[in-house]
Amino acid sequence: MLTSDSEPPFRHSAARWQPSRPVALVGVAAGMAFVFLLDTMTALPSVHHLYYFPIIFAAVTFGIRGGVITPAVAIVLYHVANPQTFGWRYRESDIVQISVFIAVGMAAARLADDARRLHRLAMTDDLTGLHNLRSFELSARSLLQQARSTGAPFSLLVFDVDRLKSINDSHGHLAGADAVRTVGRIIAAQIPSDAIACRYGGDEFVIAVSGRPLSAVEHLANELRRAVEATAPTLAHLSFPPGTLSISIGLAWRSVDGTPQPSSLDEEIEALFQAADGALYVAKRDGRNRVHVAGSPHRTQSAPRQPLRV
């Protein structure tokens, strides 16, 4: 669970606006056409440098393809707008200009690709491949905002790996890390595409789900629990039978439509998180390997308990 010296689990995050690909394509085409017309009408050498703007924009937006195709188009337009290049009579300055078009496109595409890769790494948990806390905060707020606008229900599932300490004590922390990694991969494979999953602590996970009734969310939680229990994991290069791993899940659900709401999205998510976290404690107290719904002390679902085989 979260401790008192942890960061607050959910903070405000700002989304970066990016144009859609069709809009970006129109913008690149318009920019190239404008520079071409200006080049044709003025014949000023400095106008050629304006091609850098659509080239860089296309490379950043479309990656290597944009960094290759746009300079090629700029070279063709440059050739058409400058009659002295007909018959392949290129001056040294023309060759330099064409080379710079290509170099700028490739460099911009490479830098943009590196930036996107770093962004993915910054927003992804390195052990499980799920969202990290920063990315989850942003996505969960967006999901809740959408749920509020459409009147859809919203849920949080908070859970952790049962008896992870026993695995660490018996087989070492590498086995414990493999257990967490295995659960993360199961979550990634099992959750629907419209849900968001995050590892926010050592063996602690949270999933945000929007637009599903309580019964459907409970079904999803139990499917996750059963999938983990049915897995025969490999931990620290050792094979273990099904039933070695299990998870306990706390579930908090509320219908956004017609329900009094806190003043901010952060308060709404924090309240649901605390409720789901409390339900997780109940699931642990009642025997682990089960799902408990916040506010419903008798609605706890589980499979028959099996001993931890590690």
Give, for all 310 residues of the chain, the pLDDT tens digit.
343 334 444 443 434 446 678 888 888 889 989 988 988 888 777 787 888 999 899 888 888 888 889 999 988 888 788 776 655 666 777 788 888 888 988 888 888 887 777 666 666 777 888 988 888 988 999 999 988 888 899 999 999 999 999 999 999 999 999 999 999 999 999 998 889 999 988 899 999 999 999 999 999 999 999 999 999 999 999 999 999 999 999 999 987 655 555 568 888 899 999 999 999 999 999 999 999 999 765 545 544 433 333 3
Q: How far apart are CA 180 and CA 306, in angstroms?
A: 19
Query: Which residues, 6 or more positions from 32, have their beta carbon under 8 angstroms from its beta carbon?
Result: 51, 54, 70, 73, 74, 77
Q: What is the pLDDT of residue 310?
A: 31
Query: Which residues, 6 or more positions from 199, have their beta carbon under 8 angstroms from its beta carbon?
Result: 125, 127, 128, 130, 131, 132, 180, 184, 205
* Closest listed residue to residue 251, CA positions, set 303, 214, 285: 214
Q: What is the pLDDT of residue 12?
A: 38
* Closest listed residue to residue 180, CA positions, set 242, 224, 124, 235: 235
Start and end residues for every CATH 3.30.70.270 domain found in the chain: 133-302
Was domain 133-302 assigned CATH 3.30.930.10? no
Q: How far apart are CA 133 and CA 119, in angstroms?
A: 14
What does 16-62 look like in DSSP terms, one character per residue? PP---HHHHHHHHHHHHHHHHHHHHHH--GGGGGGGHHHHHHHHHHH
Q: Are 132 and 196 in contact (CB under 8 A)?
A: no
Question: In the structure encoding, which two tokens stand for residue 85, read together?
Answer: 């290049």
CB atoms within 10 A of CB 131: 23
Q: How far apart are CA 27 and CA 56, in angstroms?
A: 12
Answer whether 0.85 is exceeded by the pTM: no
Q: How far apart are CA 278 and CA 41, in angstroms?
A: 71
